[in-house]
Chain A
Amino acid sequence: GAVVSQHPSWVICKSGTSVKIECRSLDFQATTMFWYRQFPKQSLMLMATSNEGSKATYEQGVEKDKFLINHASLTLSTLTVTSAHPEDSSFYICSARKGAGGYETQYFGPGTRLLVL
């Protein structure tokens, strides 16, 4: 199998605080993980690509100082939303890429719903 977990599944925080979301590949190693954001009734938008042992690559328009990504091991990537504000409320989904040599597939976590009050 290829299981990806996220923690927490739900988080409510006050404006101005920071929130950390974890993404783990449970039964495989992933050198590359991705972070997406999904607004209600909309598609997934790629925020950044997380590479183990190196800096993340952010998509245009995503503030890297606000959305800190750390890919500390082959099974764990974290997304920290710093100084969160209500407009950061969203559904955050990670994925981990499994395989090599042209046979890679992304497997998605169950998502984390963030509500900033």
Chain B
Amino acid sequence: AQSVTQLGSHVSVSEGALVLLRCNYSSSVPPYLFWYVQYPNQGLQLLLKYTTGATLVKGINGFEAEFKKSETSFHLTKPSAHMSDAAEYFCAVSEGGSQGNLIFGKGTKLSVKP
């Protein structure tokens, strides 16, 4: 069965610092991978996704993630954190490609200090 592990339930960075949120997955088939952001009391917004092709994926709000098959990882990064980036971030893997169900990690709460 596919699964997603997000290392660190809470990450705190200073404004302007690098953001690195870790995600590792397990899958017996080529995965589709996603990062979603959730602001308090809101639904999820898609940040970026990897399906096939280029392993470095750029998303909204300056975020990007790199698919590393050898490491089974899909870490999310942003060069310079903004206060508005404070939110909960979820990594997800899809069973069965784009038509499959999403399996979510437990989430990482990002705090940004002024």
A residues neighboring B (CB under 8 Å): 4, 6, 34, 42-44, 46, 49, 93, 95, 97, 99, 102-111, 113
Contact = CB atoms under 8 A, between A and B. Distances in A.
Most chain A CB neighbours (cut-off 10 Å) among B41, B45, B49, B97: B41
Interface stretch (B17-25, B76-84, B102-110): B102-110
* Top-4 shortest CB links A-B: A104-B98, A108-B43, A108-B44, A110-B43
Contacts of B98: 99, 102-105
Nearest to A107: B46
Interface string B38-57: 00011111100101000000
A110 B42 contact: yes
B43 A4 contact: yes
A107 B98 CA distance: 12
A44 B102 CA distance: 10
Contacts of B27: none
Most chain B CB neighbours (cut-off 10 Å) among A43, A102, A107: A43
Contacts of B42: 110-111
Interface residues of B, number: 19
Contacts of A43: 90, 104-107
Interface of B: 36, 41-46, 49, 51, 90, 97-99, 101-102, 104-107
A111 B41 contact: yes
Most chain B CB neighbours (cut-off 10 Å) among A34, A44, A99, A105: A44
B71 to A, nearest CB: 22
B58 to A, nearest CB: 16
Given A42-B107, A44-B44, A108-B36, 9 more contacts: A34-B101, A43-B105, A44-B104, A99-B98, A102-B97, A107-B46, A108-B45, A108-B46, A109-B43
B43 A93 contact: yes
30 contacts: A4-B43, A34-B101, A34-B102, A42-B107, A43-B90, A43-B105, A44-B44, A44-B104, A49-B101, A93-B43, A93-B44, A97-B99, A102-B51, A102-B97, A102-B98, A103-B98, A104-B98, A104-B99, A105-B49, A106-B46, A106-B102, A107-B46, A108-B44, A108-B45, A108-B46, A110-B42, A110-B43, A111-B41, A111-B42, A113-B41
